[in-house]
Amino acid sequence: MKYNPLSSDLYSKNRKNFMKAMQANGLAVFNSNDIYPISADSSLPFEQHRDIFYLSGVDQEESILLLFPNAKNADHQEIVFLKETNEHIAVWEGEKLSQSQATKLTGIKTIYWLDDFEKIFTQLAAQCNIFYFNTNEHYRAKVETQTREDRFIHWAKEKFPKHATAKSNFLLQRLRSVKSQEEIDQIKRACEITEKGFRRVLNFIKPGVWEYEIEAEFSHEFLKNRSKGFAYQPIIASGKNNNVLHYTQNNARCEAGDLILMDVAAEYGNYSSDMTRTIPVSGRFSKRQKEVYQAVIRVGKEATKMLMPGVLWKEYHIEVGKIMTSELLGLGLLNKVTTDNQDPRNPAYKKYFMHGTSHHLGLDTHDYGLLEEPMQANMVFTVEPGIYIPEEGFGIRLEDDVVIQEKGEPINLMRNIPMEADHIEELMSK
């Protein structure tokens, strides 16, 4: 691994909290992700399932975590199953985790090879009343591919049809949404790497460069700083492309006078950062561009102040909408007649700001969190207001990552990444 792993104490604590939330005599299983094929003998790079990683720190394919707090044998309360390594695998793929290495990484004493899983699971199934299966319940999820987890669940239900089942994900949605200091430090490190990439491209961007060249500059800086690369598919959108929310072609030429919107960030140790900056290709904003830019900054600052313990996600977005409406009136994009007669279910500001302002951030870029529950200290949120004006040929989005505090304003993990318009112009002029 390129990154410095977190402590085994953290993973032990995460498992303890999860098992405390389980029903009595429940048995939970977590599988690694598959390595997904492309064609011929090609495959995508392996990405570990974030749940088994959160609970164990294991970042290796074909691994299984089993949690059974009421196991009759105390050695079977926590078990990791690993693909057995050998000399052939070491030569062709590199060494895999040994049993002793896995114990040091995870804090779990009982490590079996994967070949023993069915035998051990069958023994333990006879002792438990309920299986905890790990289905994907994220509010944005759209999964059309059968996963390793899906295949296991199908097998277990067929083999043990009388067992009751429950969903692990609802427990993890709550647990993973509140970050430990170690996790926050890992996200902060991802933000610091992102800052290095942004400062690099500030000195690179000028009329005539291509969006993919800017993407390459970010990639170089991220990899140089021990990141695997992008936390999500990067958006490098110049000119009219600013107004396409999920533009990922990154194949246009950057022209003088245009803005370039860069929604791009690094990961570190499987933790995401999430940054958006919009800067002038020529190094200076036009009067109108700066006017809109300043409005977006004001919305972001006011939105950040509202992220406090006890706030409800839905109500927060309603209040941000009111602030955005005021700014759009000031910009002449909305008028009072429109806002006085707007449909509350589809407010007028949505014409120019059609996405949400904040989402949870962590092991996933759109991380776990139960949106019906109040915000808590140590939750990490993005703040990403935007104003998109296709008729004027540009859009602006600005995004930071912040940590909610028990008292006072959130801590901005991206506070060192330049955002103020004058500062951007100053840096680009050097």
Q: Does domain 8-176 have CATH number 3.40.50.720?
A: no
Other beta carbons within 10 Å of 116: 12
Name the percent of the chain in helix, strand, coil, to the closest 5. Answer: 40, 20, 45
| E-state strands within 114-218 | 130-133, 164-167
pLDDT tens digits for range 212-239: 999 999 999 999 999 999 999 999 999 9
pLDDT over 80 (residue 137): yes
Mean pLDDT within 159-163: 96
As a whole number, mean pLDDT of residues 64-74 equals: 97
Q: Residue 144 — pLDDT band, cuts 50, 70, 90?
A: confident
pLDDT value, residue 85: 82
How far CA 303 is from CA of 172, 297, 300, 337, 419, in Å, comes to: 27, 10, 5, 25, 16
Task: State the pTM of this model.
Answer: 0.96
pLDDT at residue 383 is higher than 80: yes
Same fold, 8-176 and 181-428: no
Instruction: Tell me: pLDDT of 265 over 80.
Output: yes
Instruction: Count CB-CB contacts under 10 A for residue 383.
Output: 25
| Residue 359: band (very low, low, confident or very high) from pLDDT cuts 50, 70, 90 | very high
Angle at 302 between CA 425 and CA 309, to 5 degrees: 130
User: In this predicted model, what pLDDT tens digit does every residue of 172-203 receive, in sequence order?
Assistant: 999 999 999 999 999 999 999 999 999 999 99
Is residue 314 packed enough to be buried (19+ CB in 10 Å), middle (13-18) or exposed (0-12)?
exposed
How high is the pLDDT of residue 89? 80
Task: pLDDT band for 50, please (50, 70, 90 cuts).
Answer: very high
- Residue 257: count other Cβ atoms within 10 Å of its Cβ: 14
pLDDT at 94 over 90: no
In this model, does residue 87 exceed pLDDT 80? no
- The pLDDT, as a whole number, for residue 390 is 97
Question: At 235, which helix (H) or strand (E)?
Answer: strand 235-238
The pLDDT assigned to 322 comes to: 97
Which amino acid, one-letter code, is at 119? K
Over residues 17-27, mean pLDDT: 98
Provide the residue ranges of all domains of the chain, joining segments of one domain with +: 8-176, 181-428
Q: Which CATH architecture has domain 181-428?
A: Alpha-Beta Complex (3.90)
**Contact, 214 vs 262, CB < 8 A?**
yes
Percent of the chain with pLDDT over 90: 94
Taking alpha carbons only, the member of 242, 271, 272, 263 closest to residue 254 is 242
Q: How buried is 109 (Cβ within 10 angstroms: 0-12 exposed, 13-18 middle, 19+ buried)?
A: middle
pLDDT for the residue 321: 98
Pairing state between β 26-31 and 130-133: parallel
**Main-chain phi, psi angles of 203, to 5 degrees:** -85, -5
- Predicted confidence at residue 1, as pLDDT, reads 79
Q: What's the confidence (pLDDT) of residue 92?
A: 81
